[in-house]
Structure 1
Amino acid sequence: MGSDSIECVSSIDGMDEEDTARTQSSKPHGGAAPPAGIAPSTSVHELLECPVCANSMYPPIHQCQNGHTLCSTCKTRVQNRCPTCRQELGDIRCLALEKVAESLELPCKYYSHGCPEVFPYYSKLKHESQCNYRPYNCPYAGSECSVVGDIPFLVTHLRDDHKVDMHTGCTFNHRYVKSNPREVENATWMLTVFNCFGQSFCLHFEAFQLGMAPVYMAFLRFMGDENDARNFSYSLEVGANGRKLTWEGTPRSIRDSHRKVRDSHDGLIIQRNMALFFSGCERKELKLRVTGRIWKEQQNSDAAVCMPNLCS
């Protein structure tokens, strides 16, 4: 990738630098107080907290001969020794505590992020695995980044830590240049994060083998949940010499990893031979210019949105 270069020129759609700065400097949600009247008793909640991982315990709940408890996952981590008194754990179940758990209703653990839901103890895990308020994983492609957070936090993280370009506007223009067009190694790039309609979108470009054929692929991801992503559409276009390829679709949520999107082929796919044709007859250097635009699906005739034929 050292010999590859990427340029981006994005048009501006009515937002000045001050607006952009405000968007990029947003901070993650603070720890809001739990909803009134639904927070569990502190003493009961502490009883159900595993002393090793600090997560809520679910059956089977284990205990030692002295009555100290821990979750089944952590039982193997402590080599069958009680982390409190160091006695051997054996296979004793704390049935009384399991009964207490059955009687509780608890708020979602993401209540501080805005989730108002309350669930019976045993339904909570399933909800939390799918909760729309749960933090997002960092969407950066090309590295295993473990950072999680809300969208404003991740936008700042991408800008400051991954040095991803930030642009405002619903149209974009990227140029990809590769000095040796005969080589297509597996490579991923997150080219840009766009601020458009008060939302953030990630543009990706990948080179990989599709079967035996080397291909390039460009696609867009929405920084938010799938239901909100459906409110937007985007188009991509690449071409030269009187030919062009176009793609139009709905951006995928960053809940789906960039690898999952790539493997589903949900984007603009360019075969290498076509890419070389777009680069010119000499084929000494690969040059691809990918242009695109984002628009909001119009809900009614009075909605003031940036439709494709109005973006420039």
Structure 2
Amino acid sequence: MDLESIECVSSSDFDEDEIHHNQQQQQQHRGLHPHPHHHSEFSSSKPRNGININSANIVGPTAITPATSVHELLECPVCTNSMYPPIHQCHNGHTLCSTCKTRVHNRCPTCRQELGDIRCLALEKVAESLELPCKFYSLGCPEIFPYYSKLKHEGMCNFRPYNCPYAGSECSVVGDIPFVVAHLRDDHKVDMHTGCTFNHRYVKSNPREVENATWMLTVFHCFGQYFCLHFEAFQLAMAPVYMAFLRFMGDENEARNYTYSLEVGANGRKLIWEGTPRSIRDSHRKVRDSHDGLIIQRNMALFFSGGDRKELKLRVTGRIWKEQQNSDVGVCIPNLCS
């Protein structure tokens, strides 16, 4: 891939409208879409654990309130997340979570009355007795947890959405992997390639101009998975360097099944890096600042570029392979992509 240059692509308070429409805005902004094979257990009228949860037909002393109504009571009207103690309420009985109490400047987001320090102890007691599905159930998570275990699970749920890995701007889009891949292709115009080998050429007319956000991103599809190849220039201890590294579009435990190599060189010399791709759960900056990739000092990069050393011309080659367990001998063998 020939490029003319490598260029930089460049919590607030809620007002009243934002508070009233926050949930709708979040859903539109995140781009989350329901998993095609999973439906909300709250809205289902089918029997669950032998109990028919249907608000239109609840009779007798054993009838229970639909889970959806209890869940809605525990939903903060500002951030739309589940509320955990301390749960605050205004004099009119409207509730919100402790985090959002500060964000709304101590005024009730529903009736605009001033909030005091009133705790909704009854709702806190209800919360302690509940078992609720993971908030990522619409993305495929089938798990149900006691209320206080739910929050811990959601922090590491494998079905939680992924942040957009595009590091050239502050992109806040989140979603599952197919959604993020389509977003990178359609919105960020990222180059998409199929195959587990690559051969890229990076050109920059003035390599002395190095900024932290100078970078390129390419997405590869192989072994049924997606990988992000990053190449960028930044300052390391006041010296400009170039770095290439690979990230896996999935969770860390899956990333460990793959290995990749990167190579750059010329004039009879070369540098080789081999490692395991990092998950996109780790931010781009975290991976870069850990130096987990192929780092090329500017003098070496100019040496590889040849000519009068006034223009950067680097060719980075590499491949991705999957480690497979050999059941006969108990060791891993590489499964190379053709």
Interval of TM-score (by shorter of Structure 1 and Structure 2): 0.7 to 0.9
Q: Could you list the per-position Cα deviations for residues 117-169 of structure 1 after superposition, in whole angstroms to 9, with x for gaps in the alignment? A: 22111121121111110000000121111111111111111111111111101
Aligned partner of 1:11 in structure 2 is none
State the alpha-carbon separation in 2 of the partners of residues 311 and 97 from structure 1.
56
Of 249, 256, 259, the match for 1:223: 249
Aligned partner of 1:145 in structure 2 is 171
Of 150, 155, 162, the match for 2:181: 155
Q: Could you list the per-position Cα deviations for residues 172-218 of structure 1 after superposition, in whole angstroms to 9, with x for gaps in the alignment? A: 00101111233333234343100101100010001011102211000
Aligned partner of 1:204 in structure 2 is 230
Q: Which moved more, 1:28-37 or 1:99-108?
A: 28-37
Q: Could you list the per-position Cα deviations for residues 60-84 of structure 1 after superposition, in whole angstroms to 9, with x for gaps in the alignment? A: 1112223222222222233333333
Q: What SS class does the counterpart of residue 200 from structure 1 fall into? A: strand
Gaps of 5+ in 2: 8-32, 42-46, 54-65
Greater RCO structure (CA 8 Å; 6+ sep): 1
2:37/2:140 contact within 8 Å kept = no
State the alpha-carbon separation in 1 of the partners of residues 162 and 206 from structure 2.
37
Aligned partner of 1:58 in structure 2 is 84
Q: For this pair of structures, how many residues does the alignment match?
A: 288
| Matched letter for residue 169 of structure 2 | S
- Give runs of aligned pairs for residues 203-282 of structure 1, distance below 5 A: 203-282=229-308
| Matched letter for residue 187 of structure 1 | A
Q: What SS class does the counterpart of residue 155 from structure 2 fall into? A: helix
Q: Could you list the per-position Cα deviations for residues 240-260 of structure 1 after superposition, in whole angstroms to 9, with x for gaps in the alignment? A: 000000000000100111111
- Give runs of aligned pairs for residues 1-312 of structure 1, distance below 5 A: 4=5, 29-30=35-36, 32-34=38-40, 37=48, 41-300=67-326, 307=334
Q: What SS class does the counterpart of residue 214 from structure 1 fall into? A: strand
State the alpha-carbon separation in 2 of the partners of residues 103 and 118 from structure 1.
13
| Matched letter for residue 48 of structure 2 | G
Aligned partner of 1:22 in structure 2 is none
Q: Could you list the per-position Cα deviations for residues 278-312 of structure 1 after superposition, in whole angstroms to 9, with x for gaps in the alignment? A: 1115213211000000000122279xx9948x567
- How much does 1:41 deviate? 1.5
State the alpha-carbon separation in 2 of the partners of residues 84 and 282 from structure 1.
68
1:32/1:112 contact within 8 Å kept = yes
- How much does 1:225 deviate? 0.4
TM-score (norm: length of structure 2): 0.79
Gaps of 5+ in 1: 7-26
RMSD: 2.5
Distance 1:215 1:37, change over 3 A: same
State the alpha-carbon separation in 1 of the partners of residues 213 and 108 from structure 2.
47
Q: Which moved more, 1:247-256 or 1:28-37?
A: 28-37
Q: Could you list the per-position Cα deviations for residues 265-285 of structure 1 after superposition, in whole angstroms to 9, with x for gaps in the alignment? A: 000000111111111152132
| Matched letter for residue 154 of structure 1 | V
1:28/1:153 contact within 8 Å kept = no
- How much does 1:44 deviate? 1.6
Identical-residue share of aligned pairs (%): 86
State the alpha-carbon separation in 1 of the partners of residues 293 and 111 from structure 2.
57
Aligned partner of 1:10 in structure 2 is none
TM-score (norm: length of structure 1): 0.85
